[in-house]
Amino acid sequence: MIKRLYIDNYKSLVNFELPLQELTLLLGPNGVGKTSVLDVMFALRRLLSGEAKVTDADAFPTPTLTRWQKRDRQVFEVDVVLDGDELRYRLEVEHERAARRARVLLERLESKGNPLFVCEMGEVGLYRDNHTPGPPYSADWTESALARVPPRHDNTRLTRFLDFMRKVIVCGLYPASFETESSTEDSVLRRDARNFASWYRHLLLEHQERVPGSIQALQEVIDGLRNIRMEKVGLDTRALMVMFDQFGERYELRLDEISDGQRALIALYSLIRLAAGPGYTLFLDEPDNYIALAEIQPWLIGLADACGEDVPQAVLCSHHPELIDYLGGDRGLVLTRESSGATVVRSSGELAVEGGLKLSEVIARGWDR
């Protein structure tokens, strides 16, 4: 799991350090940088998957530099613990503002100060699991050189880190964009989950044994739901169909024929039930947006039960009172902006609760500022 995230010179995040638990709730008003934290994790996953260069719009383009800073270097660090192995990944990106260009100055993976990989100014030093050096070589400054390292018998720690980062899911559900038909099997869920049908199709093939539990959980929150299946509508195309049994009839609806809230519920329960087990780490932006009040807590309980086991870790951003009161007491981190414009973080346990007020009420009254 990720123990610590460090970000410097990225939007409002300056010398910003975020400690994380197995289940963490990020709180705070709009504009304090909660979504920026998710943007960084999404960009790191894209870079370490070899899908993006540093200047891509969904990575670290020049406009992401902190506007009131004159420095041209961004720094990112991720501390993770994988099966007891403590690893730190550090990325330094240098920008040329006038040309809107950027390059990787430093990329390093280490364990307790001992290197497993170093790329400095385009020159790579590769190390074995026991930290003995391997052959040096040159790399492209505009992308992650670490992402290009093939797995070997003597770099299993590096490979485990890459596998972990590639299984990070960063998502803010937008059910209206969900595509019903799928012609591929996508192993990666998009940022807005528009490719949910293709991702669901992949999960069905890879983790068929988890389908009954996922369907059962959905039956408890969606009235009349009987099953979900992929119907063949072309040579390689499948449509996601939702089967209902209610009002004395059985019928099917396409994914785009059910409500946004029902689509969101299917996606949310798939994340903690069907996708559980493979080791996906979840960063979810306002997962409560489209679901009813009575539907939130059952999903939260399911998520809390799964975290640390089937789901290694989950980080949520939300303004919803139900999430704030359920998670905020001991798992909440409050983000606020200082007079300098930089974002700071503190534990929600530091908020004074007067007269037995709920944490959500304290925040609603503005007493957290």
Residue among 147, 145, 161 at smallest CA distance from 50: 147
Q: How many residues does the chain have?
A: 369
Rounded to the nearest 5°, which phi and psi values hold at 120?
A: -125, 120
pLDDT of residue 110: 97
Radius of gyration of the chain (CA): 22
* CA angle, 89 then 159 then 283, to 5°: 60
Q: Classify residue 69 as left (phi > 0), alpha (psi -120 to 50) or beta.
A: beta
C-alpha span between 125 and 358 (Å, rounded): 53
Q: Classify residue 133 as left (phi > 0), alpha (psi -120 to 50) or beta.
A: beta
**Residue carrying structure tokens 């069905």:** 204
| Domain extents in the chain | 172-267
Beta strands 332-337 and 313-317 are: unpaired
Residue among 48, 50, 37 at smallest CA distance from 7: 37
pLDDT of residue 58: 87
pLDDT of residue 5: 98
C-alpha span between 203 and 258 (Å, rounded): 21
Q: Which residue type, as a one-letter code, is found at position 121?
A: M
C-alpha span between 16 and 28 (Å, rounded): 15
Give the 3-state secondary structure of residue 195: coil
Q: What is the pLDDT along the chain (369 residues), one digit of tens a residue?
A: 999 999 999 999 999 999 999 999 999 888 899 999 999 999 999 999 999 999 999 899 999 999 998 999 999 999 999 989 999 999 999 999 888 889 999 999 999 999 999 999 999 999 999 999 998 999 999 999 999 999 999 999 999 999 999 999 999 999 999 999 999 999 899 999 999 999 999 988 888 888 898 999 999 999 999 999 999 998 999 999 999 998 888 999 999 999 999 999 999 999 998 886 667 899 999 999 999 888 998 999 999 988 887 888 999 999 888 888 888 778 999 998 888 788 999 887 776 555 567 887 777 776 656
C-alpha span between 369 and 362 (Å, rounded): 10
C-alpha span between 59 and 66 (Å, rounded): 15
Neighbours of 266 (CB within 10 A): 26
Using CB atoms within 10 A of its CB, is residue 236 exposed (0-12), middle (13-18) or buried (19+)?
Answer: exposed
